[in-house]
Structure 1
């Protein structure tokens, strides 16, 4: 009697998630080439230098995505593995002031040779894995008990603290919102979480007023940039040749692009007006060159992935799968929302990249790992459903 061969895991790939990822990464390589070519030529370097590096980052990230997709999901449910990942993350954040590489006046990066890696970008991903495991241990929703949530709170707050010390207040705020959402989905009372969110908003509002009203001398030197960023958020054109140089020129880029854009490669603002047109402000260059309509299509692809992940999280029968889906979806949503929000002046400039489009290996690698986990969860879910149907027949 012949035994049925187990289907390849490739059969269970969710192309609703994979195809937008591939499309955005290819667009990202083209836009990195366009956004960086002028400055590279001005520096007497090859105009395709960063595009080639971005292509190598993409290939490496795709391989890592495939590896995470292929591994047995049970490995990520082992407490020892999660503790190891948390330990390595804590260690990298703790040693960052000593062994870190300074870029833009802040030691947030580790030089791994092939790329500059930012440990703070790893923190949300590791927290999603940790909190999904911690919250799925109980299959019943229970009222808030500090004893139940003590470890997740301590781990989350400690990681946020280390990220904020880098300094990376925006990254710490993003982690706070991600953790808040995961705590809410774990069964905490919406009233409790609403109070926490209201407290966060009030603290942000009064913190902004305090920063703008007091002299900057009382702030430590490494945190003095906060005042400037909040001032620019209040009025991007307050000092268009100084404090508001980046934000005001991002506005000009958006205005130049209109609905249909100036054409690929025809950006004006990338020619020395936007200091980092291929990273934080690449979406402004996308609008300037490709137009608002095409750029909204890029946003649609990201939000489609987010909606897909949240929908899968709502429909999942397993709590662990549900937390992973929702965590990955919220992480991606926060990344794009913070980048576009800071570009438009709704929140202070943050330094967060546009998902899959901005130049840099660290962000692309982490988001690829996030997607790899989500694809793995989906494949495991479909395989379990097929197995249960086969047993019922």
Structure 2
């Protein structure tokens, strides 16, 4: 019997991931235009200039996603390739003090002309590739132990420390949680997982109490912002015209929106009251203009992508792909949770953007590449199943 014709890899695209991604990016372009137009007009600049840039970033991200989708993922399982990517990332981070660009008082960006690139955003993706390749190197589930994973743990801790010293404590915390989830998924007892979670909560609470109660004169100047952010987290209205200016105005924006919103373009807080309205606090503008109901729909689309990735991880028969799905899904969940959590005052302000919605090419490029890797894994997996079925016919 003739074997069925093998289809192109494009026929195996997972539209449960791709469709929400397109919708979110289109909403993002509209919200970037709306949230930035007043400030641009006040600065005698084109009101659509940032929206046009965001559209350009989106198109470039699509090209990168398509490129990542077409390559063979097994390339990233080779230790030499992963080591090279880690070294390149390290070198990029090291050069920041020399060629870095300061934004908002932090020197974490490199000006590439067409966009400001933040190398620390690349670290989680590289570590996902590295840890997934390490955990699946024998194509079997190896229970976690410090002896088995000593080298990979040291590498992850090194990059975590490197990001924290920028300073970028939020980014380092995200890397810690991301790597922890990947290692936990390799096979740990429920007791160990429960104790780890309890320990993390206790350490966070004790850290907050100590940071706010002991003198902080010994703290280096570039880390002094942590005390202010923890104070604002405890009470956003402690100084509404000073320390709590951003968070309190974000609260006002969400209150103004109510359930149904003031209408697209009708935000009050973007008119000089809420800083970074098109980046860190764009979700507050979404609630103000589009309302709580529509904004919950945006959250649903993001978490739908993450839930789809976790479902694929559970169903996958390829251990390496399963770890990739878990890592990509966790990264998206963390970025949403940190952005919205800081917006609501549950965690200190972090300066982390909302996935696919906030203005900026660096974040959109990295997240699009992340989804490209997940789509590649899914397409490769289905194609392999079809090949096996064809051989069995």
> What TM-score, normalized by structure 1, do the two folds share?
0.97
| Residues 123-160 of structure 1, C-alpha deviations (whole Å, 9 max, x = no match) | 11111100100000134444443221111100110010
Report the number of matched residues: 393
Please give the secondary structure, in 1, of the residue aligned with 2:45. Answer: coil
Contact 1:38–1:47 (Cα < 8 Å) also in 2 = yes
Greater displacement, 138-147 / 22-31: 138-147
Look up the match of 1:53: 53
2: CA distance between counterparts of 1:197 and 1:100?
36
- Post-superposition Cα deviations, 1:309-354, rounded to whole Å, max 9, x if no partner, equal 0000011001101000011000000010110111000100011110
Which residue in the other structure is 2:82 paired with? Answer: 82
Match of 2:117 in 1: 117
Alpha-carbon contact 1:36-1:278 (below 8 Å) kept:
yes
Structure 2 CA distance, aligned partners of 1:18 and 1:144?
Answer: 33
Contact 1:253 1:287 in 2 (8 A): yes
Displacement of 1:198 in angstroms is 2.7
How large is the Cα RMSD of the aligned pairs? 1.4
**Residue aligning to 2:43:** 43
User: What SS is found at the alignment partner of 1:366?
Assistant: helix
Matched, 1:326 2:322: no
State the shift of 1:5 in Å. Answer: 5.0
Alpha-carbon contact 2:12-2:382 (below 8 Å) kept: yes
Structure 1 match to 2:203: 203
CA displacement at 1:190 relative to structure 2 = 3.4
Matches within 5 A, 1:372-383: 372-383=372-383
Indicate the SS of the match to 2:147: helix
The alignment status of 1:145 with 2:125, answered yes or no, reads no
- The match for 1:9 is 9
Q: Unmatched 5+ residue regions in structure 1?
A: none
SS in structure 2 opposite 1:279?
coil
Shift of 1:273: 0.5
Greater CA drift, 11-20 or 143-152: 143-152
Q: Mind listing any 5+ residue stretches in structure 2 that lack a counterpart?
A: none
Which whole-Å deviations, capped at 9, do the CAs of 1:245-288 have from their partners, x for residues lacking one? 00000000000001110000000000000111000000000000
CA contact (8 A) 2:135 2:142 kept: no
Deviation at 1:195, TM superposition (A): 3.1
Aligned runs of 1:149-188 on 2, under 5 Å? 149-188=149-188
In 1, Cα distance between equivalents of 2:328 and 2:366: 11
Conservation of the 8 A alpha-carbon contact between 1:184 and 1:190:
no
- Cα 1:192–1:98 change in 2 (3 A) is farther
